[in-house]
């Protein structure tokens, strides 16, 4: 054992020497992909996996033939009582998923207020069936220079890195990192 320890310590010393050090990448994720250094870095546009489908092709919300968002929510998530997960998963499973989501995307709210119409008789927002309820919401902040035409539809910036790197905890800019220190 005493003969092995010097070899182990020598190996650790060599591995930790500056000769073998990897460059430290910035907290904003820039340079993680050597071929495309900006990919996934904070402040870049979100990548879309489906085409944009604004009603006017530029920036407007859904059209008159689109289903009401609150009706969709009520239909998908309606339940009469507590339901046990068939796989015996606890709430920690979805909480962890939400944490990962918050670690790879953060689009700030803008100042543009919209009203989501509530279906008449909605059990939470219109329990007396008056038919005049709405849910106020701020639209996500529009990326500068986008939303000017059908060839340049509204886009959104991701304020944190697109990597699972703890940016939800540690931030993606020097100001947040310095504040945490």
**How does pLDDT run across 125-169, given as a tens digit for each residue?**
999 999 999 999 999 999 999 999 999 999 999 999 999 999 888
Domain chopping of the chain, boundaries: 43-159
**How does pLDDT run across 15-69, given as a tens digit for each residue?**
556 666 667 778 999 999 989 999 999 999 999 899 888 999 999 988 778 899 9
**180 band by pLDDT with thresholds 50, 70 and 90:** confident
How much is the average pLDDT of 94-117? 94
This model's pTM is above 0.85: no
Q: Are 111 and 137 in contact (CB under 8 A)?
A: no
With b for 16 or more beta-carbon neighbours within 10 A and e for fewer, the 86-112 pattern comes to eeeeeeeeeeeeeeeeebbbbbeeeee
């Amino acid at each position: 054992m005493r003969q092995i320890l010097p070899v182990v310590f020598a190996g650790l010393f060599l591995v930790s020497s500056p000769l073998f050090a990897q460059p430290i990448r910035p907290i904003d994720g820039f340079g993680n992909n050597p071929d495309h250094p900006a990919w996934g870095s904070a402040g870049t546009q979100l990548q879309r996996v489906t085409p944009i489908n604004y009603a006017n092709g530029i920036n407007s919300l859904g059209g008159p033939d689109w289903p009401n968002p609150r009706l969709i929510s009520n239909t998908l998530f309606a339940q009469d009582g507590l339901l046990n997960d068939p796989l015996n998963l606890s709430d920690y499973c979805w909480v962890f998923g939400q944490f990962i989501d918050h670690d790879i995307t953060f689009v700030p709210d803008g100042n543009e207020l919209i009203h989501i119409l509530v279906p008449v008789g909605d059990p939470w927002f219109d329990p007396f069936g008056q038919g005049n309820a709405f849910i106020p919401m701020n639209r996500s902040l529009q990326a500068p220079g986008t939303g000017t035409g059908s060839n340049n539809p509204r886009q959104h910036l991701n304020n944190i890195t697109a990597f699972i790197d703890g940016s939800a905890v540690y931030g993606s800019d020097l100001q947040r990192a310095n504040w945490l220190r």
